[in-house]
Structure 1
Amino acid sequence: MDMKLGLYENRINDRLNQWDEINMLDRLRQKDLSLWNTRKGEVTDMLGWLSLGKSMSSQLDDILEFSDQMCNEGFTKAVLLGMGGSSMASCVFKQTLGSAEGYLDLIVLDSTHPDTIRNVTDTIDISNTLFITSSKSGETIETLSMFRYFWDEVQQSVTDPGRHFIAITDPNTPLAKLANQRNFRKIFEANIDVGGRYSALSAFGLVPAALLGIDIRLLLTRAFNDWDVAKKTEQQGGLILGAALGEFTIAGRDKATLIMSDSLRSFSLWAEQLIAESTGKDGRGMVPVVREPWIESEEYGQDRVFVGLSLEGEQWNVAERLDELAADHPTIHMIMDDPISLGKAMFEWELAIASAAIIMEIDPFDQPDVQATKELAWDLVSNVKSRERRSHDINTFYLDEPDELKEAAEEWIREAQPDDYISIQAYLSYDNDIRDGLRLLQRDILSATGLATILDQGPRFLHSTGQLYKGGLGTGLFLQLVEYMNEDIPIPDTDYSFGTLTSAEALGDIIVLKDRGRRVLRINLGREGSEGIAKLRDLLNVMFQTEVIPIMA
């Protein structure tokens, strides 16, 4: 690990020495909850992830046997239905390690937007597709809605639909009961003492990884080798990273900006959830900034720390970028030996964020502010009158009313202060043109303001950065983009649709943000898609010339 810590080096070394003095490593292995001293005086007992190297080893034969069975029966594709911690690690495994020859290809579906549902449906052949219904609580509304839709699709095509479904969930959840009722071919029970964002090396990550043909024995062994033998904190990269990130955060450098080498780009989205949902609470938080366009080093504020993760052999671009930044900002560079060391990197980051939370004096294992949005979203989905009434509580601005939109945008951006951040929350169809347009919008805002600028895809981020945005410092400005959906899809056995669900989640989220005193701006792009984003960019860029640069100078 290459670290250029500047003025912070002594305080980080002091922290590591202090951890050695209190026998930090041994106390973590013993799952000593007293390490975390929080305002509420107690910490959620969810430390099972520290011993997954042992607890999962007994399940590997069963997982591998199931994977072989699926291949032998002719299944060629798996679709994972899940949100947040139930899906993100699988996405990283697929995009980083790929699918081995003869094993299943994997699609991770973590969006309820009708266009995304439709695109997945058009991509697969039901007859050779396995659906992985993945939810720790077993009651995630998005996951169960996706299940209902695909169950209906499958039972129209085959006589035994349960043969095409498995579940990954905690024991005795509503999903487990549903799986038994519908005769799913298998239920993988998850560890009840492992939270979603710390579950990459549990059944939630290892079952999909095995279906991809990844060597999960080696993945798990590599993950815990150093952990099992380390005697001091300096021998455990996760604790070194945690000490650094924790100290940077309490010193005001709370924007952890991640830079990944090409093959590890998806890792940043997994780390984003881990950081945001673990630390964004009690009016505190570390803000993960991922996939942000680059600007000159001196244009960034003094609230940044840059963390790079590279694969051996492709680290040079990341190293060069970090060298450019090191004159003005602290930098950290971690290099993975090989792709199968991905599990080790995940465990080190889990350890880093949990230990940084000790310094921040927060509980990294709960998510107290996520539930408020879930409850409100369900009320808005199930109650038309409530949805209509609450929609009037939020001002929505439109492209065909440019004067009103420009005035609202000016008022919104005038509230920006140094060390704030901006989140673009896009509840839009995600085709290539829209994705490219949003990236350009992100670049425009970053260049004009110098503020950390985050691009969030809704509703995915509700299970990721959503906790930070509601429970953290309150230094965010939120730009929500919604649209009129061209063609909706009803959800079987309910009285709502995917479009209704997505719209209700967007409305519920911005209501909660506003109720928490956050600075919000909501814009409806109509049905203009990427052209609407281009129009919005033109309007904002005119505004930036007069409104933003003088404020942020």
Structure 2
Amino acid sequence: MNSSKNYQAFELGKWKTKVEERLKLWEEQGFSRRLWSKDPTLWFPEPQPEIADRLGWLVLPEMMRDNLEMLSSFAEEIKDEGISDVVLLGMGGSSLAPDVFQKTFGNAPGYPGLIVLDSTHPAAVRSVEDRVDLHHTLFLVSSKSGTTLETLSLFRYFWKKVSQIMDDPGKHFVAITDPGTPLMKLAQERGFRRIFEANPDVGGRYSALTYFGMVPAALIGMDIHTLLDRAWTASENCASSVSEEKAAGIRLGALLGEITKDRDKLTFFASGSLKSFPDWLEQLIAESTGKDGKGILPVAGETLVSPSEYGQDRIFVFLTLEGEDGEELEEWMDAQKQAGHPCVRIELKDKYDLGREIFSWEIAVASAGSVLGIHPFNQPDVQLAKDFTKTAMEEVGKKKEESDVETWSIDALEALTKALKDWLGQAKTGDYFALQAYLPPSKETEEALQDIRLELLKHTRLATTLGYGPRFLHSTGQLHKGGQNRGLFLQIIDEPDVDLPVPETDYSFKNLIKAQALGDYKALKQRGRRVLRVNLGSDVASGLRTLYELLGRQD
């Protein structure tokens, strides 16, 4: 198969024929035409909720054009006012694309920087508070449903802080939400500076090109016209008049659908400037496909190892930026191909080609859902952890949870060593490890967790993933509970030495993050998952070092 527009190349080995046959079948069935006519029978013969009314993302590259001048004008207004920081309070689809934009592009000269706060750990909340000058900060309160617990808790905290020093706190708050949500009503009541009503027919993980992504992009001074133009180019490439074999997104979807039946660990490696993009892809793929006992596991941020250290369940995707590929990555890519691993290489001419890739991957994942026989637009198992969290909120601090939750202390070395051995002993070929860190993100913590990932990979040859709680609950959490029972989950918690009450409620951030970890633990156990829960105590750095050393001693 030839590359599409010279930026997408596949090395598929024995799967090449299967992918070609799928594309031929789709062409006979009029797949592209039916996709653009929003035909829900592409996925199921009978009508299903959240399909026909969740395909609005298909027309975003064209539809959002009418809003670009308004967004640019708003961004200029904020810049000219002297706002130095924009703090986005949001989870999942409301936060991941903006985070990628800030990490990839940074803020243009004179424009504010963007800080994404998607943690309920009190240390993370305090860190953001200490980092900004509230007089020169704009808060984006971003939630599609308008009811997201984490987002509203963070809003209440910062609303009180701003109210204590300003007579008109609403001037420093902007809401992004669907029409008619509780957040919209709240924003109206409190006099928010602006309310951006998002598209109700676009699901959260497909919303990067709606106001959820475009408002933050404009505020940091990105060229949103170019970003959307690149997305429009991708939509034209996948138009109904283009054959399925030549449409980049649909070709990628056929590949994902066919190969991941055999190799379900979709492993991403990206050039330096693009390293954060797989974090967005992670939610799109895991939440769209991880259900009904099926799913594609996205693996982002793993350390490079030799081909022999990977299992036979991998497919590799290399995202490269023209002129930025290092010799080491080139050699490593060639080694994977020589070892017989199926590989995909996608080259971006410049960073704004992210617009193209966002749209192409949305097409690909939706198309793959048709092959896998899953509903790519719902998230049926996310609510389970939320329900357990609600119950846990009433238990935290009352010690009720200790009777049915096994938590291993980092200080009980002998007991923890045995628990780790027993947990690792349950691993088998085709499994994966998921590190679930309910910790405040930091450079040091990230490095320590990556060391643990590498130790697990080298020890077992199994894929490893890393997510910070509660962020991952809105991303890979759906696959953890709804996908195949192939995960071994290491839930890592700490004892925060600081706590912050959440105004207008009877709980604190410390209680909230504890309840969220507890709720997900119980949800995983209910689904028969293999979970080990470790409490690091108050010294996270020391606890992670000990955990790494204990893993290194395993047979």
State yes or no: 1:234 paired with 2:234: no
State the percentage of identical aligned residues: 48
TM-score (norm 1): 0.95
Q: Deviation per CA, 1:147-176, whole angstroms, max 9, x where unpaired?
A: 001001111111100000000000010100
Instruction: Identify the residue that residue 116 of structure 1 maps to in structure 2.
Output: 124
Q: Which amino acid aligns with 1:510?
A: Y
Match for residue 167 of structure 1?
Answer: 175
Deviates more, 1:335-344 or 1:127-136: 335-344
Q: CA–CA distance in 2 between the matches of 1:62 and 1:341?
A: 23
What code does the residue aligned with 1:278 have? S
SS in 1 for 2:434: strand
1:341 matched to 2:353: yes
Tell me which residue corresponds to 1:505: 516
In the TM superposition, residue 386 of structure 1 has moved relative to its aligned partner by 9.4
In the TM superposition, residue 409 of structure 1 has moved relative to its aligned partner by: 1.6
Of 134-143 and 217-226, more deviation after overlay is shown by 217-226
Three-state SS of the structure 2 residue aligned to 1:184 is coil
Range with bigger deviation, 488-497 or 466-475: 488-497
Q: 1:277 aligns with which of 269, 275, 287?
A: 287
User: 1:474 — aligned with what?
Assistant: 485
**1:51 alignment partner, one of 59, 74, 80:** 59
Instruction: Output the CA distance in 1 between the equivalents of 2:334 and 2:526.
Output: 42
Cα distance, 1:388 vs. partner? 3.3
Contact 1:77 1:130 in 2 (8 A): yes
Contact 1:38 1:361 in 2 (8 A): no
Letter of the 2:83 counterpart = F
Provide structure 1 residue ranges, at least 5 long, that are not aligned to the other structure: 546-553
Matching residue of 2:378: 366
Q: Of 464, 470, 476, which aligns to 1:465?
A: 476
Shift in Å, 1:40: 8.7
Q: How does 1:244-283 map to 2 (within 5 A)?
A: 244-250=255-261, 252-283=262-293
Equivalent residue runs for 1:258-407 within 5 Å:
258-317=268-327, 318-328=329-339, 329-381=341-393, 383-384=394-395, 388-407=399-418
Alignment partner, residue 537 of structure 1: 548
| Cα distance between partner residues in 2 of 1:301 and 1:184 | 52
177, 180, 187: which one pairs with 2:185?
177
Contact map agreement 1:33 1:43 (CA 8 A) in 2: no
Match for residue 486 of structure 1?
497
Give 1:319 deviation, angstroms.
3.5
* Partner-residue secondary structure (3-state), 1:422: strand
- Paired letter, 2:382: V
Aligned counterpart, 1:77: 85
Secondary structure at the aligned position of 2:82 is classed as coil
Query: Where does residue 460 of structure 2 map in the other structure?
Result: 449
- Contact 1:240–1:352 at 8 Å: present in 2 too? yes
**Which residue type is aligned with residue 17 of structure 1?**
K
Query: Is 1:14 equivalent to 2:14 in the alignment?
Result: no
Q: Which residue of 2 aligns with 1:28?
A: 35
Distance 1:385 1:438, change over 3 A: closer
Counterpart amino acid of residue 354 in structure 1? A
SS at match of 1:234: coil
Shift of 1:56: 1.4
Separation in 2 of the partners of 1:333 and 1:13? 18
Residue deviations 1:12-45 (CA, integer Å, cap 9, x gap): 0111111111222221111111111289966533
Paired with 1:425 and 1:489, the residues of 2 have a C-alpha distance of: 22
Q: What is the Cα deviation at residue 302 of structure 1?
A: 0.8
Q: Report the Cα distance in structure 1 between the residues aligned to 2:291 and 2:498, rounded to whole angstroms.
A: 38
SS in 1 for 2:553: helix
Question: Could you say what secondary structure the match of 1:111 adopts?
Answer: coil
Taking the aligned partners of 1:39 and 1:418, their CA distance within structure 2 comes to 36
Q: Distance in 1 between matches of 2:408 and 2:232?
A: 51
Q: C-alpha separation between the residues in 2 aligned to 1:293 and 1:500?
A: 34
For residues 159 and 313 of structure 1, what CA distance do their matches in structure 2 show?
A: 51
Give the 3-state SS of the residue equivalent to 1:333 in structure 2. Answer: strand
Over 3 Å counting, the alpha-carbon distance change for 1:438 and 1:40 in structure 2 is farther
Of stretches 366-375 and 69-78 in structure 1, the one that deviates more from structure 2 is 69-78
Change (3 A) 1:327 1:511: same
Which residue of 2 is the match for residue 422 of structure 1? Answer: 433
1:156 aligns with 2:164: yes
Establish whether residue 66 from structure 1 lines up as the match of residue 77 from structure 2.
Answer: no
Which ranges in structure 2 are unaligned for 5 or more consecutive residues?
1-7
Tell me if structure 1 keeps the 8 A contact 2:396–2:511: no
Partner residue, 2:3 = none
Deviations 1:352-408 (A, max 9, x none): 111111110000100000011112212322x13796323421111112222221222
Contact 1:315 1:335 in 2 (8 A): no
Q: Is the 8 A contact 1:46 1:194 kept in 2?
A: yes
TM-score by length of 2: 0.95
> What corresponds to 2:139 in structure 1?
131
Which has the larger displacement, 11-20 or 399-408?
399-408
Secondary structure of the corresponding residue to residue 193 of structure 1:
coil
Aligned partner letter, 2:371: I
Query: Residues 111-155 of structure 1: CA distance to partner in whole angstroms, max 9, x if unpaired?
Result: 111111111111111111100000000000000000001001111
Kept after mapping to 2: 8 A contact 1:428/1:458:
yes
Q: Which amino acid aligns with 2:455?
A: D
